[in-house]
Amino acid sequence: MAEKAPKPDERVTVPSILAAKGRRKLTMLTAYDYLTALWVDRSGVDMILVGDSLAMVMLGHEDTLSVTMEEMLHHTRAVTRGAKRALVIGDMPFLSYQVSVEQAVENAGRFLKEARAQAVKLEGGASVLRQVEAIVKAGIPVQGHLGLTPQSIAQLGGFKVQGKDEEAARRLLDDALALSDAGCFSLVLEAVPAPVAEKITRSVPIPTVGIGAGPACDGQVLVTHDLAGLFDRFVPRFVKQYDQLGARLLEAARRYREEVESGAFPGPEHSFGLSKKGG
């Protein structure tokens, strides 16, 4: 029997994500604010990720390292007010889970307790297994993230494809199996060769969600501002721009400026008069 996707008015749950493996494709998009979460939620995607990419997309930082727990919680609170159906996942920021298992559980808990997210995501394999186990043990669902892990940019030497040689591909597979054993409910694979992602997807019992990881993954994720054509400081190869909202916003703002300068806006239909005497 094909596992049905949750109904349009039904909340997506962690068990429904697990049950999707091998039955239907999963979708995840990012949102960093209430309004974007509203629109993305209405699209019917399974998961909304409050990505630490907000450091670059919302705050204009060079990379994702500078964003803080307080900033992540602020944005996650806004997203959970707008998302009625999708599973909302908070992306744990750099240094909020690496220092100790205790800090990891405490910070993961804040995403659920203070921002009302339903799960957290963190980057890394063997180095974060104890954290994943402890967070899951506390009752908090964890999504793993392997391959291009932007919080390790200083070690990776840039935003580069990972797992290209046989040894690196083997390490990715070992990490994926270990994260699954540690209790992750799904796994983001970022910028890894399609055949490597396919092998991992066939080897783990949990859904893989790819970004630049080819079509064999159980699901796909993109940054909403990339697919909408709003963010264009860089456009990775794996991005498909489904619209050009940046260019459209530019044009709307330009027309507004021109009409104000020429006196065409505001017209009488946008203005208020006085009340009529004796009326």
Residues lying near ligand KIV in the complex (CB under 6 A)? 30, 49, 51-53, 91, 188, 190, 211, 221, 223
- CA-CA-CA-CA torsion sign (218, 223, 226, 227): positive
String of contacts with Mg ion for each residue 42-61, x by CB under 5 A: ---------xx---------
By CB under 6 A, name the one of 28, 47, 48, 56 that touches ligand MHF. Answer: 56
Interaction between residue 53 and ligand MHF (CB under 6 A) = yes
Say if residue 100 carries a ligand binding annotation.
no
Give the span between the Cα atoms of 222 and 30, in whole angstroms: 7
135, amino acid identity: I
Interaction between residue 149 and ligand MHF (CB under 6 A) = no
Q: Which is nearer to ligand MHF, 89 or 134 (CB)?
A: 89
Shortest spacing between CB 253 and ligand KIV, in angstroms:
26
Interaction between residue 94 and ligand MHF (CB under 6 A) = no
Interaction between residue 91 and Mg ion (CB under 5 A) = yes
**Longest distance between any two alpha carbons in the chain, whole Å:** 88
By CB under 6 A, name the one of 5, 18, 19, 161 that touches ligand MHF. Answer: 161
Shortest spacing between CB 256 and ligand MHF, in angstroms:
26
Q: Which is nearer to ligand KIV, 52 or 175 (CB)?
A: 52
Could you write out the DSSP letters of every residue in 211-249? ESS-TTSSEEEE-HHHHTT---S---TT---S--HHHHH
Choose among 103, 148, 153: nearest CA to 130.
103
CA distances from 19 to 95, 169, 186 (A): 32, 27, 11
Choose among 104, 95, 57, 48: nearest CA to 76.
48
Residues 6+ apart with CB under 8 A from 153: 63, 64, 65, 159
Contact 49, 121 (CB under 8 A): yes
Interaction between residue 191 and ligand MHF (CB under 6 A) = yes
Annotation says 190 is catalytic: yes
Shortest spacing between CB 273 and ligand KIV, in angstroms:
49
Q: List residues forming the annotated binding site.
A: 52-53, 91, 121, 123
**Rule CB under 6 A: which residues touch ligand MHF?**
53, 56-57, 64, 148, 150, 159-161, 191, 223, 225-226, 231, 234, 236-237
Catalytic residues: 190
